[in-house]
Amino acid sequence: MFLYSFDVFAGAVAPKTPILSEENISSVVTENELVGVMLDLTPSYFPKDLLEVIAGLTLPYFKQISAGEHHTCGILTDGKVKCWGINDKHQADAPKNEVNEKYIQIAAGEDHTCVLRGDSTIKCWGGGEDNKTKASLLQDKYIQISAGGHHTCGIRVNGSIKCWLANSYLNVRVPNTYDKYLQVSAGKGINYCGIIADKTVSCWGDWIILYGINVQEKYFQVSTGMYHACGIRLEDRTVRCWGYQEMKYPDDHERYLQISAGNNHTCGIREDGTARCWGNNTYHQLEVPDVNEHYVQISAGGNHTCGIREDGIVKCWGNNTYHQLEIPEV
């Protein structure tokens, strides 16, 4: 759901390797969000010409980042996890990955964080003093996860969705459980959106998230914020948003590779690799630094945003009350 940064050169010595290629597309598992693991998408769902654009980009050092409400976590190229920002509920206490344990995707929520492991199981931390994020005990196999406010959703290997509260075993009701999903995005509050197998969008939760949605249009990515959601249309790669009306989508008619919705703002990467944000700018979360630079991933958090540039520099901007822009050394 969410993401940020200071000037940190994340790829000083890291070799630049293609994100996707004909050889490894089938082996990538998911998303939030620019390659499978970053877009909350299964690889087969990318249009072929978009795959060609993405394959020309590189992923240095941080191979994925995810911004939560007031913290951010990322997976490094060596497989380790780094988190920074607020840690009042232990949401930034990244686990020491076990020997040979591989992390495929990371998802930061409001006060908890989850990772998808290489064996398709989920591990979570945070969510309270007693650290009751019970998803760590779930044995279901997943292909994609998304962390929202106090809840998490995942797509199981059979295409069904399961959502649960971060600090309990309680499941969150998912409508039309017979549908097969390609992507799910958990927003703040009780809002959720997902892309069904026919590539249309289904949203549920607070009524406002349904306002203005066109259930006939086809999408290849969707991202859910607090009271709004945005998607990239499959037909022409332009952005459409619905829900709270201040979250108007950009009128540039440009094609986008990835979008990410925060609390009250949204950011996206255009086809030329540059980033653009829109919505509420109270904490300067729309003010993309280096507007001419190219990004390979972007993630919008509560009131901050982070992105990985193609030169390996991680940038974050917006609210820094809890040091969520201060990326640790790696």
Going from N- to C-terminal start, the domains of the chain cover 8-318
pLDDT of residue 267: 96
Query: Token pair of 137, please?
Result: 């005990």
Q: Is 103 left (phi over 0), alpha (psi -120 to 50) or beta?
A: beta
Q: What angle do CA 252, 253, 255 make, to 5 degrees?
A: 110
Grade residue 259 by pLDDT with cuts at 50, 70 and 90.
very high
Q: Which carries the bigger pLDDT value, residue 5 or residue 172? A: 172
pLDDT given for residue 250 in this prediction: 79
Give the pLDDT confidence of 273-306 residue by residue, as tens digits.
999 999 999 999 999 998 899 999 999 999 999 9
pLDDT at 4 over 80: no
DSSP letter, residue 2: B
What is the chain's mean pLDDT, rounded? 79
| 208-230: average pLDDT | 91
Q: How far apart are the first and last CA of the chain?
A: 23
Encode 285-315: b = buried (16+ Cβ within 10 Å), e = exposed: bbebeeeebbbbbbbbbbbbbbbbbbbbbbb
Residue 163 has pLDDT above 60, yes or no: yes
d(CA 278, CA 169): 36
To the question of pTM greater than 0.85 for the whole model, the response is no
Has residue 6 got a pLDDT over 90?
A: no
- Let me know: does 68 contact 147? Beta carbons within 8 Å: yes
pLDDT(55) > 50: yes
Per-residue model confidence (pLDDT) at position 21: 32
C-alpha 83: how far from its chain's center?
Answer: 15
pLDDT of residue 171: 67
Compare 210 and 168 and report the one with higher pLDDT.
Answer: 210
pLDDT computed for residue 61 by the predictor: 81
Range in 55-59, 64-68, 141-145 the model is least confident about: 55-59
pLDDT, residue 116, reads 92
Most confident of 123-132, 239-248, 271-280: 271-280
Query: Rounded to an integer, what is the distance from CA 213 to the centroid of its chain?
Result: 21
As a residue count, the chain comes to 330
Location of structure tokens 């106090």? 150
Cα angle 21, 25, 28; round to 5:
130
What are the CA-CA distances from residue 113 to residues 27, 81, 130, 158, 180 (Å)? 24, 11, 15, 24, 25
Of 183-192, 206-215, 252-261, 292-301, give the lowest mean pLDDT range.
206-215
Say which residue the tokens 């990244």 belong to.
94
Check pLDDT > 60 for residue 2: no
Q: Quote the CA–CA distance of 122 and 116 in Å, as a whole number.
A: 5
Would you state the CATH architecture of domain 8-318? 7 Propeller (2.130)
Confidence check: pLDDT of 28 > 50: no
Q: Is the pLDDT of residue 92 over 70?
A: yes
Torsion angle in degrees (nearest 10) through CA of 191, 155, 182, 278: 40
Q: How far apart are the C-alpha atoms of 68 and 3, rounded to whole Å?
A: 6
On the question of pLDDT at 128 being above 70, the answer is: no
324 neighbors 81 (Cβ within 8 angstroms)? no
Helix (H) or strand (E) holding 76: strand 71-76
Q: What's the pLDDT score for residue 260?
A: 96
Residue entry with tokens 């931390």: 125
Confidence tier at 33 by pLDDT (50, 70, 90): very low
Q: Which strands make up the sheet holding 313-318, listed edge to edge?
A: 8-9, 313-318, 304-309, 295-300
The pLDDT tens digits of the residues spanning 99-122 come to 678 888 999 999 999 999 989 999
Cα 274 to its chain centre, rounded Å, is: 18
